[in-house]
């Protein structure tokens, strides 16, 4: 089966991609670019860099601008998946949804309406186990946004390693360890399917402790 | 030993529909074995069986109903989740109707039972077919509007649940394991 992966560039969509690639041919990535951070359904930060990741993966990227409101976001999702189906002949969609029934049920409905299979390989996974899988699989993932106590600005740019996973486990009463509620966002610089890794050349940190974003100004692909 | 039966055509769907149930079984202190819908299985080796659900577009398991007809003579306990619920309903002579239900819906209990005693609760549904009525072999235990979403096979410890208890109602699975 040919599938597309709903891709934000963060750790979850990349892990879902890795799992999907073991069984199916991944024909393309699809990404929605929200007009602002207010989007209900999709991750915002670092989405501009997704094109660089798609090049590292040697996969085509199907993009669509998504309005902020719920209905507009759903319509954009429908358009982008219809495009992937038409251009690349995909029969299924893979997402990185973990626990949000709100997110998962909307993906399921749109996929059904378009005649597409829907796969959520991280669904109900233990968040810390998924993070450990990411680390042990050789992903290089950095924090690009923190949004809530006790996530300090100094976390931005830090690579998620075993110590970070332990830290997220210790603070799980404040923060969902997977960040699925928007408590933090991540960006994948390297993972097993990348043919080249991403190097950040210039960046800026905006905001204060518990509400800060790492804005990548310049990045490039380099040999692994 | 608990037998988990996968109804998934694709292994990737098992990550979504079998693995979460397996985790609940493990966390409840039980060991489990996984078999797939297309395999002929000697059910009598196991004390309890959980038949898991599958993807919305997956109906492949319905071609293998004959593999499940042996359950009619099985004396242990069975929990059928979504596709598993459909299998139980079908082998006991019931018909499914097309009724798409995706998302969280309110369930109303008709009768207290060993799996749940809450009079109302939210549950996550993900199905295209459902049961609006059941024959005299099955006893309805809960409704979601007109859908029979929880039933018991009369004179057996077989339960069918059309929603996915692993998502919002893991106590239903835990209570089944304690039976």
pLDDT in tens, B17-74: 999 999 999 999 999 999 999 999 999 999 999 999 999 999 999 999 999 999 999 9
CATH of the domain at B99: 3.40.50.880
pLDDT tops 60 at residue A175: yes
- Comparing alpha-carbon positions, the chain B residue that sits nearest to A94 is B12
| Residue B71 at interface with chain A, using a CB cutoff of 8 Å | no
pLDDT tops 80 at residue A37: no
Residue A178 confidence (pLDDT): 92
Q: Which residues of chain A neighbour B11 with C-beta distances below 8 Å?
A: 23
Task: Compute the distance between CA of residue B79 and CA of residue B118 in angstroms, rounded to an integer.
Answer: 18
CA B81 → CA A150, B85, B145, B164, distances in Å?
Answer: 39, 5, 19, 6
Q: Which pTM does this prediction carry?
A: 0.95
pLDDT tops 70 at residue A38: no
Answer yes or no: are the C-beta atoms of B163 and B125 closer than 8 Å.
Answer: yes
Q: Any catalytic annotation for residue B166?
A: yes
Query: Cβ separation of B56 and A108 shorter than 8 Å?
Result: yes
CA distance B156 to chain A (A): 31
Tell me the average pLDDT across B82-98. 98
Instruction: State which fold the A2-119 domain adopts.
Output: Rossmann fold (3.40.50)
Q: Which residues of chain A neighbour B165 with C-beta distances below 8 Å?
A: none
Selected residue of A96, A101, A127 to mutate for chain B interface (largest B Cβ count, 10 A): A101
pLDDT tops 50 at residue A149: yes
Total domains in chain B come to: 1
Selected residue of A123, A126, A133 to mutate for chain B interface (largest B Cβ count, 10 A): A123
Specify the pairing of strand B147-153 against strand B48-51: unpaired
Residue A45 confidence (pLDDT): 43
Query: Cβ separation of B20 and A105 shorter than 8 Å?
Result: no
Q: DSSP for chain A? A: -EEEEE--SSHHHHHHHHHHHTTSEEEEEEEEEESSTT-SSS--TTGGGHHHHHHHHT--EEEEEE-SSHHHHHHHHHHHHHHHHHHH---EEE----S-HHHHHHHHHHHHHTT-EEE-TTTT--HHHHHHHHHHTT-EEEEEEEESTT--GGGBTPBP-HHHHHHHHHTTTTS-TT-TTSSEEEEEEE-TT-SSEEEEEEEEEEEETTEEEEEEEEEEEE--
Residue A47 confidence (pLDDT): 65
Tell me the average pLDDT across A131-139. 98
Q: Which of residues 37-56 of B touch A (CB under 8 A)?
A: 55-56
Residue A70 confidence (pLDDT): 86
Question: Between chain A and chain B, how many beta carbons pairs sit less than 8 Å apart?
Answer: 65
* B109: phi then psi, degrees, rounded to nearest 5: -75, 135
- Comparing alpha-carbon positions, the chain B residue that sits nearest to A17 is B12
Residue B29, Cβ density class (10 Å: 0-12 exposed, 13-18 middle, ≥19 buried): exposed
pLDDT tops 60 at residue A42: no
pLDDT tops 90 at residue A128: yes
Residue A68 confidence (pLDDT): 80
Q: Which among B57, B102, B167 has the least Cβ separation from residue A109?
A: B102
Q: Which residues of chain A neighbour B19 with C-beta distances below 8 Å?
A: 124-125
Selected residue of A102, A103, A124 to mutate for chain B interface (largest B Cβ count, 10 A): A124
Query: Cβ separation of B168 and A101 shorter than 8 Å?
Result: yes
Query: Cβ separation of A119 and B12 shorter than 8 Å?
Result: yes
ipTM for the complex?
0.96
- What's the domain range around B75? 2-178
pLDDT tops 90 at residue A80: yes
Token output for B81:
């989740």
Residue A35 confidence (pLDDT): 75
The three-state secondary structure class of B164 is: coil
Percent of all residues in chain A with a pLDDT value above 70, rounded to a whole number? 94
Percent of all residues in chain A with a pLDDT value above 90, rounded to a whole number? 85
Q: Which among B10, B100, B124 has the least Cβ separation from residue A101?
A: B124
Indicate the pLDDT class of residue A46, thresholds 50, 70 and 90: low
Write the pLDDT tens digit of every residue in A187-218: 999 999 999 999 999 999 999 999 999 988 88
**CATH class, A134-222 region:** alpha beta
Indicate the pLDDT class of residue A36, thresholds 50, 70 and 90: low
Domain boundaries, chain A: 2-119, 134-222
* Fold match between domain A2-119 and domain A134-222: no
The three-state secondary structure class of B127 is: strand
Write the pLDDT tens digit of every residue in A85-99: 999 999 999 999 999
Residue A69 confidence (pLDDT): 86
Tell me the average pLDDT across B111-128. 96
Q: Any catalytic annotation for residue B52?
A: no
Residue A182 confidence (pLDDT): 86
| Residue B23 at interface with chain A, using a CB cutoff of 8 Å | yes
């Amino acid at each position: 089966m040919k599938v597309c992966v709903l891709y934000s560039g963060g750790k979850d969509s990349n892990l879902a991609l890795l799992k999907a690639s073991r069984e199916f041919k991944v024909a393309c990535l699809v990404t929605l670019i929200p007009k602002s951070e207010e989007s209900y359904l999709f991750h915002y930060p670092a989405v501009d860099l997704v094109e660089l990741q798609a090049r590292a993966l040697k996969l085509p990227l199907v993009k669509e601008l998504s309005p902020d409101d719920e209905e507009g976001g759903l319509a954009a999702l429908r358009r982008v998946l219809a495009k992937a189906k038409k251009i690349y002949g995909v029969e299924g969609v893979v997402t990185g949804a973990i626990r949000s029934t709100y997110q998962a049920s909307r993906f399921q409905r749109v996929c059904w309406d378009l005649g597409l299979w829907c796969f959520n390989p991280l669904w109900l996974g233990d968040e810390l186990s998924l993070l450990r899988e990411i680390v042990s699989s050789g992903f290089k993932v950095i924090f690009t946004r923190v949004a809530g106590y006790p996530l300090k600005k100094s976390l931005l740019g830090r690579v998620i390693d075993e110590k970070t996973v332990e830290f997220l486990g210790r603070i799980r009463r404040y923060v969902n360890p997977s960040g699925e509620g928007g408590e933090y966002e991540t960006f994948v610089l390297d993972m097993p399917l990348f043919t080249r890794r991403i190097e950040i050349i210039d960046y800026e940190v905006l905001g204060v402790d518990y509400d800060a974003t790492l804005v990548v100004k310049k990045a490039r692909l380099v040999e692994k | 030993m608990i037998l988990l039966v996968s109804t998934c055509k694709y292994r990737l769907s098992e990550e979504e529909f079998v693995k979460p149930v397996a985790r609940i079984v493990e966390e409840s202190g039980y060991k489990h074995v996984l078999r797939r819908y297309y395999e002929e299985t000697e059910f009598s080796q196991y004390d309890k069986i959980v038949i898991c659900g599958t993807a919305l577009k997956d109906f492949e398991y319905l071609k293998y109903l004959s593999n499940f007809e042996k359950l009619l003579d099985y004396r242990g306990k069975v929990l059928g989740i979504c596709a598993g619920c459909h299998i139980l309903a079908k082998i006991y002579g019931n018909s499914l109707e097309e009724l798409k239900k995706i998302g969280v819906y309110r369930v109303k209990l008709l009768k207290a039972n060993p799996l749940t005693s809450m009079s109302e609760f939210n549950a996550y549904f993900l199905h295209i077919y459902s049961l609006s009525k059941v024959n005299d072999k099955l006893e309805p235990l809960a409704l979601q509007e007109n859908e029979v979403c929880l039933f018991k096979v009369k004179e057996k410890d077989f339960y069918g649940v059309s929603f996915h208890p692993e998502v919002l109602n893991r106590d239903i699975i835990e209570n089944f394991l304690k039976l």
